[in-house]
Structures are given as structure tokens and as C-alpha cells.
Structure 1
């Protein structure tokens, strides 16, 4: 009868199940982090706006108009900012890849030696580093150099349009929550309900962010909830102060 060790499946290629090991997984995690941050920004900025306006005016129409304007402007601003930022990054990546392509065409032996040297600096012996460099060059020279020299995957360049759309959507989703909360809650308790719902949403966002980054959940949640609470308190106080003064 076989013992327990014979019955246990042997992991393939030394990989642990559930651990991300490919560049695509890293890219997906980055997108997820960006989505959480965008939603968090939408929650905080829109909540601060509607709570501040509510501190100055009880008119539902005024609050809704201000909140909707903040949502639209914030989403557009996030999309434009992300598009410009990622476009600049993509242009830089393309420029570096073009330079690397020219160098591979003009001096392949020098590039081979450079690649082997880079692997030696990572801890491989000279013979092993040379063999690895030769095999990777034979498979895809540009991808090999782009990976170890530039940290770029030529097949996975960032998309400015995708980044802009994702940022706009995540911001809009986050901003919709405080706007809906303050519009649907009773007038006498709308600020209280909005603050409670927003703080809960921020706690969830902090939890998700901590899980993605494998960091402390308590620290992440505390940081985002305390920061959100302070921001809401300040904006509400400003609304009360200036709303009364102007009126």
C-alpha cells in the first residue's frame, strides 16, 4: 500500500498553486489596484463635495447639481490624466524598444555579450549565463533584452485608451455611491447617512487594496477611513461656515 507521500500530487515546475508567475497577472493586479484607487478617489471627492454643499444648503436640487457636476468633472479629469500619463509611458516604452531593435541589428554580438553579462550579475556562472543568453536570443532576442534591461514586455505595452476608460468607470462607480446616498436619505439625516455609507465603502476599498497588495488590512482600513472622516468633517464645516456667512 503506498504511503501518503506517494499519494500527494507533485507540483509542476516548482510553482505553487494560486501564486501569480506571469507578466499578465502582474498587469491585471496593477489594473485592479488602479480601479480601487479610482473608486476611492470618486467616493472621497464626491462625498466631500455633496456633504460640503449640504452644510451650506438643504435644497436637494442644489446638492444633486453640485454632486453630478463633481462626478462628471472628476471622471473626465481622471480619464484625461490617465490617458496623458499612460500615453507618455507607452511612447517611452516604444522608443526604448526601437533603440534596442537597432542595437540588435547593428551589433548582435555585443548585445549577446551584454545579455550574458546581465545574467552573470544576477548570480549565474559565466558559462550558464552565456548559454541562457544564447537560448533566449534564439527564441526572441528583443523580448529577452527588453525583459532584463528595460523591464518591458513588447507584447504587453500599456494602453492609454484602456487606462482612461477604466479610470473614468472606476471613478464614476465610486462617485455614484455618496451622490445616491445623500439624495435618497431623509433630509434631516442625509449627512449622517452619507457619512456612514461613505466610511463603510472606504473601509471596503481599504480592505480590497490591502488584500491585493498583501499588506496589513487593519492599517489600510484605518488609514483610509480616518482620512475620509477628516476630509468629510472639514468640507462640511466649510459648507456650514461659508454657507451661513454668504447667506
Structure 2
């Protein structure tokens, strides 16, 4: 009696939607709030003013991220829905042409004409619309647009990311506030890049470097602008 070991594969494509929104939100939360704190501090504001500006930035940013993600992803969902309706109509009006189209797709992927014709026929008998949506349009349940999920993930991750430099702002000494916020924010960004790369199965060092570099650039530019306007004022 043969014993077959079940082959298990772990893919991460089901994480693409929420992972993208979460990483984007957390990265924006850390960078924008830290940049805001550094810019206001460089302009000469006191600790209370810096904290108020940071909290306001957290609230405004979280709401903006949620609204922006919902609108943009909902637009994608509307487009997908329209494509589904168009494909459904094409299958009703021109089934033979749609069968030929699906056959051509499988031939282009390497199947012989006879086998591609048979595969297309069998799949269309089982689920014609699903076959065309998946193989012709590239739309799947795994990668489909989820506006509410993206909006909530972005808002929550932005708030969490923004809370990190704000916490440093509260506890760091006023004398070295900018240094503390800048250094710890870079550390937070490095950890975020590493975690995101790990969750997505990408290179950890590359992900860490990319997130940290662009965050440092954004904070440096903002601090420079704040110092310039503070000096002018």
C-alpha cells in the first residue's frame, strides 16, 4: 500500500490587498508625522505646539488615507464589475467567438490547438464566465478589489505608524527632541520594511533599505523647510 504525502504550498498572493494598504498606511503614518514634528520643531515651536501639530496630523492623515483608499479601490471594483457584465453579455451573444478567444489564450500558453480547444470547451461547460474572467481579464477572488478592507487597513495602520513618533515626542526630552524623533523614526521605518518584506516573501535587506532611505529623505527635506521658514520668520 502506497502512502502519498500531501504536498503543501504556501503562497502569499492572498495578502497582496491588505498588505499593500497596511504597509502604505504605516509608512505614511511614520514619515508624515515624524516629518511634521521635525518641521514644526525646526521652525521653533514649543513642545505643546509640536504635540498638537502631530496629533492633528495623525487624525487628518488617518481619515485621508481611509477615504483615499476607499475611493481608489472602489473605482477598481467598479471597473471589474463593468468588465464582468460586458463579458457576460459577450458570452450570451457570441459564445462561439468567446470559445475561440479562450482557445487562443491556451494556445498562446503552450497547449496544442486540439487540447486548447478541448480545455476551453470543458471549462466553459463548467463555468464559462469564471473561465473568461480569470484567463482573459485576469480577475480572481484572491486579487479582487476590496474597498472597505483597504480603507480600514490603511486608516488603522496609519494611526499605528503615526502613534510611534508621537509617543517619542511625548517622552523625549525637549532639548534633543528632533534627534530622538528622527533616529527612532528611522528605526521604526527599518522594522516596517523588514516586516513587510518578510510577510510578502521578498528580500528583507532590500525592503528595509528602500523604506528607510525614502523616509529619511522625506524627513530631511521637511526639517530643512521648517528650519528655513523658522529662520525667515
Length-normalised TM-score, structure 2: 0.90
* 2:6 is aligned with 1:19: no
Structure 1 distance, partners of 2:141, 2:186, is: 41
- Equivalent position to 1:99, from 86, 107, 115: 86
Partner of 2:211: 224
In structure 1, runs of 5+ residues without a counterpart are 1-5
Moved over 3 A (4+): 9-12, 154-157, 212-216
Residues 1:232 and 1:83: Cα distance change in structure 2 (over 3 Å): same
Partners of 1:30 and 1:204 in 2: how far apart?
20
Q: Is the 8 A contact 2:18 2:149 kept in 1?
A: no
SS at match of 2:74: helix
Q: How many residues matched?
A: 232
Task: List alignment gaps of at least 5 residues for structure 2.
Answer: none
- Secondary structure at the aligned position of 1:161 is classed as helix
Q: CA RMSD in A?
A: 2.2
1:85-142 Cα distance to aligned partner (Å, 9 max, x none): 1111111111110011011112222222221121111111112112211221121111
TM-score, with length taken from structure 1: 0.85
Is residue 33–residue 212 contact of structure 1 (8 Å, CA) maintained in 2?
A: no
> In the aligned structure 2, how far is the partner of 1:111 from the partner of 1:161?
33
1:154, distance to aligned residue in structure 2 (A)? 6.1
Q: Is the 8 A contact 2:70 2:151 kept in 1?
A: yes
Q: Deviations over 1:197-243 (max 9, x none)?
A: 11111101111233345444323322322332233233223323322
**Could you tell me which residue of structure 2 aligns to residue 66 of structure 1?**
53
Once residues 142 and 20 of structure 2 are traced to their aligned partners in structure 1, the CA distance between those partners, rounded to angstroms, is 21
Instruction: Report which structure shows greater RCO (CA 8 Å, sep ≥6).
Output: 2
